[in-house]
Amino acid sequence: MNTLEYSSRLINLQLPVRTPIMARVGNTPLFRLIAVTSDIPDSVEIYVKAEWFNPSGSVKDRPAAAIIQKAIFDGNLCDGKTLLDATSGNMGIAYATFCAGLHIPAHLIIPANATPERLAILRSLGVELTLADPVEGTEGARKIAIDLAEAYPDKYFYADQYNNPENIHAHYQSTGPELLSQTENRITHFVAGLGTSGTMMGTGTYLKEFLPDVQLVAVQPDSPIHGLEGLKHYKSGNMPGLFNPGLIDRTIEVGTEDAYSIARRLAREEGLMVGVSAAAATEAALRLAHEIDHGVIIALHPDSALKYLNEPFWEQA
């Protein structure tokens, strides 16, 4: 069954919105960048998709809501079962937000070096946390989650965001259509970072079906050791099961310091306080803009800077 067929079937299921906050997921705004694009032609437009307008503050609200709703519909989250997954932070916060409203227990595995803001939010939402070895990162957290799911199958519903097709379908059904509508079908390039890859796979598939010439540009850290939280260096780690490299037209690698610099510029010149993965996508979009004569580039901004304010790079001139 292809993505479009699955999407139609899923829509026909009319999955219930179980809490009012879930009804606010999606329909996030586009903002055109002005100050930081002063050195590119007027015929090249760069917009950012501000995903921090989602209820829990990130793009992860889209797949989290889809995964939870489908699990409820299928009977996989019933009889007191606990939602279990590994996370670097944002997906966990989305799970925790929706599970709280649905009175579903959640157990999340997160690297111990997650930002203090993310850990505080998760604890405030009442989820059970297991801190994984920071050296092993999200891969180590995933191993713990898999072991728990195998050991206690009657206790846990393992959401498995890295392999759950609802991660892709959520973006196919929402992010892609929103971008076509908001740009009046003028989008020429879609730029997004790769973590689970669900955002790029779902949005990109939808865009390619309606605009075959649209360019899908993936953003990656430029080395295995990096500070771009939420992004994975695919060359050195395990690629998620969701990832289809054949869909991508181009990959741009961004260094941590370059992303930090753009984050500061977006804050001080545009009034946009964004996270480091959003800054990396913007850096990639700016590089791309210098290579083309005309176009409409959309850079997806997964979250705001609110979970990164303790980072020292903000203090640099």
pLDDT at 18: 62
Tell me which residue has tokens 């005309």: 294
Asked whether 302 and 58 are in contact (CB, 8 A), the reply is: yes
268's CB contacts (< 8 A; 6+ apart) are none
CA 88, 255, 296, 271 dihedral sign is positive
pLDDT at 246 over 80: yes
Q: Where are the domains of the chain?
A: 3-55+165-315, 61-158
Tally of helices (H runs) and strands (E runs) in the chain: 10, 10
Percent of the chain with pLDDT over 90: 84
The candidate with the shortest Cα–Cα distance to 285, out of 265, 304, 305, is 265
Instruction: Specify the CATH number for 3-55+165-315; select among 3.20.20.120, 3.40.50.1100, 1.10.760.10, 3.20.20.210.
Output: 3.40.50.1100
Structure token pair of residue 81: 């079962």
**For 97-125, how does the pLDDT look when each residue is reduced to its tens digit (9 = 90+)?**
999 999 999 999 999 999 889 999 999 99
Q: What is the pTM of this model?
A: 0.92
**For 142-193, how does the pLDDT look when each residue is reduced to its tens digit (9 = 90+)?**
999 999 999 999 999 999 999 999 999 999 999 999 999 999 999 999 999 9
Q: Give the integer Cα–Cα distance in Å for 269 and 284.
A: 18
**For 28-52, how does the pLDDT look when each residue is reduced to its tens digit (9 = 90+)?**
999 999 999 999 999 999 999 999 9
The candidate with the shortest Cα–Cα distance to 19, out of 94, 91, 81, 98, is 98
Q: Give the integer Cα–Cα distance in Å for 163 and 169.
A: 12
The candidate with the shortest Cα–Cα distance to 51, out of 186, 141, 174, 220, is 174
The CATH number given to 61-158 is 3.40.50.1100
pLDDT at 236: 85
Confidence bin at 239 (pLDDT 50/70/90): confident
Structure token pair of residue 135: 């050296």
